[in-house]
Amino acid sequence: MEVLPAGTAGEVLSGQTGSRRSAGTESGSFSALLTASLDAQQSASVPVRLELPQPGPVPAKPEPSPGDPGRGGTEPVEYIVKKGDTLWKIGRQMFNRDPYRIARDNGIANPNLIRPGQKLLIHPAPPSPVPPRLKGEVTASWYGAEHHDKLTASGQRFDMHKNTLAHRTLPMGTKVRLVNPANGKSAEGVVNDRGPYIKGRDVDVSYGLARQLGFVRKGVTKLDIETI
């Protein structure tokens, strides 16, 4: 039996080749492999940090501004008079209201005496009246050059070439359609004056309308009228 030397304590015998390897070298290689393996696992399991968008600032609600109190509600609007305000400016330009009604609603005896800081209640406009319906036959005449550029009952200046007419009761601004049954011609016009005041006549149309309806030379004729 061959007795082999035990060798040094720091060496081991390889079972396959019989060569000797250092135990310290084996331990160092194992430690290096273990460290590399752990590093790989840690790098594989590093949590991903998600960058979420930060919420932006909440937009501020707009301050209520003077407007039409009759639009979208029936409650009056409180307005604080500012320097330079007049009742006419507040009523006509800002709220589209009658300044004298604002004065009455707020107990103001003199509309010219309002002061900065004063509170005014602006009431909503009353509902617009439904214009009366009119349909039927009327006796019509026309007027022109002798009244051109003069003030009408509506406050507008009469323009003989525009499609306007006078009626005794229809509200100002009422639109009508007129048809001349004698020739089939038709035209539309707007009431902006009062009259006629001659017995037996119902409407007085402008020269422009009479020309479109074809009765300038005749002067007076029957027309069919309908509000639109």
- Over residues 55-105, the pLDDT tens digits come to 666 555 444 455 455 444 578 899 999 999 999 999 889 998 888 889 999
Per the confidence metrics, is the pTM higher than 0.75?
no
Same domain assignment for residues 140 and 189: yes
Quick check: 131 pLDDT over 70?
Answer: no
Q: Write out the residue range of the structural domain in which residue 222 sits.
A: 135-227
Separation CA 131–CA 202 (nearest Å): 18
Same domain assignment for residues 141 and 205: yes
Region 4-11: what's the mean pLDDT?
Answer: 45
| Contact status, residue 223 vs residue 180, Cβ threshold 8 Å | yes
25 assigned to some structural domain: no
Which of 192, 218, 224, 225 has the alpha carbon at shortest distance from 206? Answer: 192
Region 31-52: what's the mean pLDDT?
Answer: 55
45 assigned to some structural domain: no
56 assigned to some structural domain: no
207 assigned to some structural domain: yes
Instruction: Show the tokens assigned to 87.
Output: 């009742």
Same domain assignment for residues 164 and 223: yes
66 assigned to some structural domain: no
Q: Please state, as a whole number, how many other Cβ atoms lie within 10 Å of the Cβ of residue 203.
A: 23
Residue 173's φ and ψ, nearest 5 degrees, are 90, -5
Q: Which residues contact 201 (CB under 8 A, 6 or more apart)?
A: 139, 140, 141, 220
Tell me, what's the pLDDT at 165?
Answer: 98
Same domain assignment for residues 85 and 163: no
47 assigned to some structural domain: no
Tell me, what's the pLDDT at 125?
Answer: 80
Separation CA 80–CA 125 (nearest Å): 19
Amino acid at 34: L
Same domain assignment for residues 146 and 197: yes
Same domain assignment for residues 90 and 115: yes
Same domain assignment for residues 140 and 213: yes
How many domains does the chain fold into?
2
Same domain assignment for residues 86 and 151: no
Q: What is the CATH number of the domain that holds 84?
A: 3.10.350.10
Same domain assignment for residues 214 and 161: yes
Q: Which of 7-11, 170-174, 191-195, 199-203 has the lowest mean pLDDT?
A: 7-11
